[in-house]
Chain A
Amino acid sequence: MKAGVIVESLGMSQRAMQITRSINKVPSLEEYWDIVLFYTQYDRILLSPHFAMMDVAEIYGFDGPIISTNLETSKIALGCKSATKKFFYVWDLEWTHKVFDIDELNKIYMNPEIKLIARSEEHASIIENCWKKPIAVIENFNHEKLTELISK
């Protein structure tokens, strides 16, 4: 199985550390998984990645399921026609930090092409109230639960 994860960068952030840590554990799974991480900005990497990394320009030929991790990368995922499934791991409640046009947010959060994944039960209930019900709650980008979900 293969999957793509789109991030802004693997620079110094809790999100980048957790995602790297989680994808690094994928080879320990029984099933063989080929995970490719696509980044929009190249940055200094804090943890050694044990997976392929590519500039996001390469994603348009990627023909597996993809997981975006914020609004910007979700917009990129929407433009990726060859992806077989699209998931948005809602790491952050971005709409509460600055004012967005709701119609722009609806295009992502309410898009039938994108399935939302929440980080916690609390986030799931907030996301459901504002947009739509997440299909799963997966804490800390857990590699086992994520691979199980996208392989369904």
Chain B
Amino acid sequence: MKIVTTFLNPRYSGIVNAVNSLFGGVTLFDSSTTPASDFFYKNKPDLMFVDEKIVNEHFLNAIEKLDTKIILFGNSVPEGLKPDLVCGEPSISPLMKKHLEREFNCIYILDYIDVDADLGGSRDEKLSSPTGILFLDNEINIPTLEFLVALSTKNKLKIVSDYNLSLPSFVGSLSYERRLDFLKSIDICIDLDGSQIIKNAANGVFTLSLMDNKLFPTINPENFQEQIDFYLQPSQSIKQKRDFITDTAKSSILSSTTNYHRLLDIINSLDFLSQFKEKTETKIQDIQK
């Protein structure tokens, strides 16, 4: 089966990575460098993963006469496109959801970790610290800044970010791969907005989050120190408690929240993909081991 993917939104790239890793041969169509008509004249895909943002008149004309099955990633369907499946975000508005479900075969892609890209890392003493923060936003607001200042005055803290935070605990930026080393080198990761929870859980990184969640203990900006001090105690029982929380979170994520699980959701929604089911299920079992 010839599979083509368009230049994808990072939110969905893990699913295409899973397809490529299991079945290989996924060809990338980058509309910014290749004209659609040339590309589809040479490549006649059987299946195509399409990002709603790249669909335009040229693209529609180029695929018009092809008998290609289309899986569309996005919260709306561009006019003229007839996807076999629409993969939307769970946060889509209820009205749009009803509209899509009336017209198309739809599923909603929950957050996931990309097993091949998001797992790994090893402890590096040079990056170690009792507490650490990976700050990935490009903007910081006053309450967050106040929280970071309060946190850094009471704790040994390292903040890694691609953006200058002008705080003494801010130590600089790290490449994507080295960020995993950083997470493995800190005793407690402080999650500010819920964005780190799934990845940290999958990597076995103990986390205290400002967001309510089912995997890790939560802290609040007014009363965070007690929790941090509690979990940093060197006693064996606290260490066991931390390990238990981390192990439970890890197995919960690896058993339900990987890119292969999301791929299986897609496969289960389309009969013509049933040939891929067995291999995907085997991979999911391997991940859990």
Contacts and interface: CB of A to CB of B under 8 A. Distances in A.
Interface of A: 93, 95-106, 110, 126, 129-130
A101 B174 contact: yes
B162, B169, B182, most chain A CB atoms within 10 A = B169
A110 B157 CA distance: 16
Enumerate the 4 nearest inter-chain pairs by beta-carbon distance, A residue then B residue, closest first.
Answer: A102-B172, A126-B168, A100-B172, A106-B126
Nearest to B158: A130
A102 B127 contact: yes
Contacts of B163: 99
A96 B167 contact: yes
A130 B126 CA distance: 9
Given A99-B162, A102-B160, A103-B178, A129 B173 contact: no
Interface residues of B, number: 24
Given A101-B174, A102-B127, A103-B178, A96 B168 contact: yes
B171 interface: yes
Given A129-B156, A129-B157, A105 B178 contact: no
A102 B170 contact: no
B56 interface: no
A93 B164 contact: no
A137 to B, nearest CB: 16
13 contacts: A95-B171, A97-B164, A100-B172, A101-B172, A102-B127, A102-B172, A102-B174, A104-B172, A105-B171, A106-B127, A126-B169, A129-B152, A130-B169
B91 interface: no
A93 B126 CA distance: 18
B166 interface: yes
Contacts of A102: 127, 160, 171-174, 178, 182
A101 B177 CA distance: 13
B131 to A, nearest CB: 10
